[in-house]
Amino acid sequence: MVESTGIEVIAVGAGFAGLTAAIECVRHGHKVTLLESFPDVKALGDIISFGANAGRIFKRWDGVEEKLDRICLNTKGINFKTYLGEDVYYQEWTPEETFGKPFNGHRGEIHEIVYEYAQKVGVNIILGHRVTDYFETETEAGVIANGQRFTADVVFAADGVRSKGRQIVLGYDDKPKSSGYAIFRTWFPSDKLANNPLTKFMCENGDNHCAWLGPDIHFIAATIKGGKDFSWVCTHKDEADIEESWQTPGKIEDALKVLEGWDPAVLEIVKATPPESLVDWKLVYRDPLPTWVSPKSRIALIGDAAHPFLPTSIQGASQAMEDGATLAVCLELAGKSDVALAILAYEKIRYQRVLMTQKTGESTREKWHKADFANLKEKPDTIKLQRGEWMLGHDAEKHAYEVYAETIASLDR
């Protein structure tokens, strides 16, 4: 049993940012109340990726790794093809001994495991409470949810891309911009594909992962759970109105139009997709925020609320988890009398790293969409995912312990 620090935390939002921050805070002796607007927990979403940097955090949670192993993708690498179906390159994942273990699987299923773990360790989770306002004084911070007032020493706004918490931090409402891209996404049983000669290669011999690259479009498919489940995502140009909902329905005919002239295997995959499972999600862009911390330093934005990621970074959920691991350590080292200092240290420790990681989303998309498709086989290095030790080998908890003292010494207060 860890010693109590007496620090009380409110986390808003039970996504991976809020849940991780809550679990990590409990691990470090703080008391957490978590408010979530959804009235119940549903297995929403489709495929989501956690890099080894997030895997390191999961691994510290008793019994969670074993549960994740049962539902997560189990591949040694990813096969790159051109949009016409020509094999280009097989990129092997870095071995687990090098940087650690990634976890990729169904967002809803992974979420359920993490949610249950948060309950088990004693996070006070209150569902069906939409936060409508944030406030802070020199001595406390709080929120209004369902007309009720909640107060604590600090508040983490983990309320996602449409964050209400941004208002108090920035002093204005910031508007999302269109990135010019949208993404079709889906998840469904693979039976039909396993029986189709053009697509069965994806369902044989356990899990498979394959990416097709074309001019300004990429299509990534994966089989999970020994080839039984199937997921694909397709990022494509889109100038339509910005919709940030995961629930926006997609149309099979629209996806086929976008992929006209592509490898027949890709077209078969799209045709086999249950229409009701297809989502068309517009990818919004937001300029990096000047700060993630409120004027009195008692409210911190975390996860997508602070820094939305493009899917091509493959790091959005992982960085959201790193935020929570960092905050828990900063609060422990600062102590109850200095929580505002902990929040400032969190921002300083995380800001540049997050910016660097966010940039990889754009650079990967650019190199995939603007590749020299006719000569790709000779130049596989131009499309390889570059995810080095700085990103995947990072241990957010250890790093926070190492740099906290020098960070607070360097703060301009």
Ligand X SMILES: Cc1cc2nc3c(=O)[nH]c(=O)nc-3n(C[C@H](O)[C@H](O)[C@H](O)COP(=O)(O)OP(=O)(O)OC[C@H]3O[C@@H](n4cnc5c(N)ncnc54)[C@H](O)[C@@H]3O)c2cc1C
Which residue numbers are catalytic? 185
Q: How far is the CB of 108 from ligand X (least distance, A)?
A: 7
Distances (CA, A) of 140 to 7, 150, 299, 363: 11, 10, 9, 41
Stretch that binds ligand X, among 84-92, 158-166, 202-210, 347-355 (CB under 6 A): 158-166
402 CB-near residues (< 8 Å, 6+ apart): none
- By the rule CB under 6 A, 365 interacts with ligand X: no
410 CB-near residues (< 8 Å, 6+ apart): 348
- By the rule CB under 6 A, 184 interacts with ligand X: no
- By the rule CB under 6 A, 142 interacts with ligand X: no
Pattern of binders to ligand X over 102-131, x per CB under 6 A? -----x----------------------xx
Residue whose CB is less far from ligand X, 79 or 318: 318
Of the candidates 371, 302, 367, which has an alpha carbon nearest to the alpha carbon of residue 331?
302
- By the rule CB under 6 A, 160 interacts with ligand X: yes
- By the rule CB under 6 A, 45 interacts with ligand X: yes
Q: Report how many residues bind ligand X under the rule CB under 6 A.
A: 30
Residue 124, beta-bridge partner list: 33
* 165/10 Cα distance (integer angstroms): 12
DSSP, collapsed to helix, strand or coil, labels residue 159 as coil
* 149/409 Cα distance (integer angstroms): 35
Of the candidates 198, 244, 185, 239, which has an alpha carbon nearest to the alpha carbon of residue 216?
239
For residue 389, give the DSSP letter: H
Residue whose CB is less far from ligand X, 102 or 160: 160
Residue whose CB is less far from ligand X, 97 or 172: 172
Q: How far is the CB of 260 from ligand X (least distance, A)?
A: 26
Of the candidates 144, 134, 139, which has an alpha carbon nearest to the alpha carbon of residue 169?
134
- By the rule CB under 6 A, 361 interacts with ligand X: no
Cβ atoms < 10 Å from Cβ of 244:
15
- By the rule CB under 6 A, 38 interacts with ligand X: yes
- By the rule CB under 6 A, 324 interacts with ligand X: no
Q: How far is the CB of 380 from ligand X (least distance, A)?
A: 26
Percentages of the chain per state (helix, strand, coil), in multiples of 5: 40, 25, 35
Candidate residues 14, 52, 328, 330; the one interacting with ligand X per rule CB under 6 A: 14
Stretch that binds ligand X, among 40-48, 270-278, 292-300, 356-364 (CB under 6 A): 40-48
- By the rule CB under 6 A, 304 interacts with ligand X: yes
Cβ atoms < 10 Å from Cβ of 135:
17
Q: How far is the CB of 123 from ligand X (least distance, A)?
A: 14
Q: How far is the CB of 246 from ligand X (least distance, A)?
A: 4
- By the rule CB under 6 A, 36 interacts with ligand X: yes
Of the candidates 201, 278, 287, which has an alpha carbon nearest to the alpha carbon of residue 234?
278
- By the rule CB under 6 A, 158 interacts with ligand X: yes
> Is beta strand 209-214 parallel, antiparallel or unpaired with respect to 217-224?
antiparallel
- Residues of this chain that bind ligand X (CB under 6 A): 12-18, 35-38, 44-48, 107, 130-131, 158-160, 164, 246, 303-305, 316-317, 320
